[in-house]
Amino acid sequence: MYSIFSRELRSYFDGPMGYGIIGAFVVVIMLLSVLLDPGGSGGDWFARGELSMRTFFGIFPWVAAVVVPAVSMRLWSEDRRQATFEMLMTLPIPTWKIALGKYFAGVLFLAAMLAATVAFPLMLFVFGQPDWGPVAGGYIACLLLGAAFVGVGLFMSGLTENQALAFFMAMLLCLGIVGVGELRGLLGDMARDNPQAAMIHVISVPLVGMGVLAAVVGRDRMLGLAVGLIGFVVNAGAHIVNSGAEGEGAARGTTQAGEFVVGALAQVAVLDHFREIQRGVVNTNGLVFFAGYVVLFVVLNVWSLESRRYS
């Protein structure tokens, strides 16, 4: 496993790609951290007169959902492109060890990306008196969330030899994982006001997403168009159809079902756990949550590879 790990880690820095990703990440997140104000407290970093990393940690999940798939898209796709995938699959090494070697290389590269932003906490140290607990908790939260996204990218990279396609699929899934947390409140209100629409959205949107991904993987434009059109009609129709004709018992049951589904979404949303650790509250619940994401996608990756190894 160590040989796979060192091989993958070296490949990031053998060419300009690794340095380019780190440089782009640092420039983008530093600029956004200075210029944006997601909390709405008034103006950019300079207008607020506030020297903190609140904005940095606030936008990191969204930036990571785009950047981390670029880090992990090559983990398996590059082997397929260079025809070394078959050689790896014939080595007398369990598939899970190969997958973990690649995964840990991606996580260490992610840690290097975060370390490259050290200028920000240094500015806090030089020009202010920061509370280092939330700063340390924020970096731990960023590493844990990024590690989960590396697992997503590893899984998607194992499905195709096209790095662009692997990046696109992993980015969509990571954005969806982050977006669930942002939309949970909206869906909760909808589950109370229009439970039928909430249920339709919660059930149909993931199905449409999987259909579109299947169309992209299979390069079937007609399938993608049909799935997208059906999804639009179904979700738009959920708000057009009058639900007032239903009986009281059915409406109550639908409302309870909608609230249950929204509550279940809260259990898979990463932002609540991310923000809790960001505040400096590093507890077992958050660690187990992110570890569960990692284990899930690494296991999915191993299963998908095993099906090819012995086929």
Q: What is the pLDDT of residues 252-295, one digit of tens each?
A: 444 555 555 555 565 667 888 888 888 877 788 888 889 988 99
pLDDT exceeds cutoff 60 at 11: yes
CA atoms within 13 Å, Cβ hemisphere of 132: 5
SS3 for 232?
helix
pLDDT of res. 144 = 93
Within a domain: residue 129?
yes
Domain assignment present for residue 213? The answer is no
pLDDT of res. 251: 47
Average pLDDT over the chain, rounded to an integer: 76
pLDDT tens figures, 36-66: 655 544 444 555 555 667 788 888 999 999 9
Q: How many domains does the chain have?
A: 1
| Euclidean distance between CA atoms 68 and 32, whole angstroms | 17
pLDDT of residue 37: 54
Assigned domain for 114 exists: yes
| 206 located within any domain | no
Q: What is the pLDDT of residues 99-151, one digit of tens each?
A: 899 999 999 999 999 999 888 888 777 776 767 778 888 899 999 999 999 99
Query: Is residue 202 one of the residues assigned to a domain?
Result: no
Domain span holding position 71: 2-166+283-309
For the residues 242-249, what does the mean pLDDT come to? 46
Global pTM value: 0.77
**Does 273 map to a domain?**
no
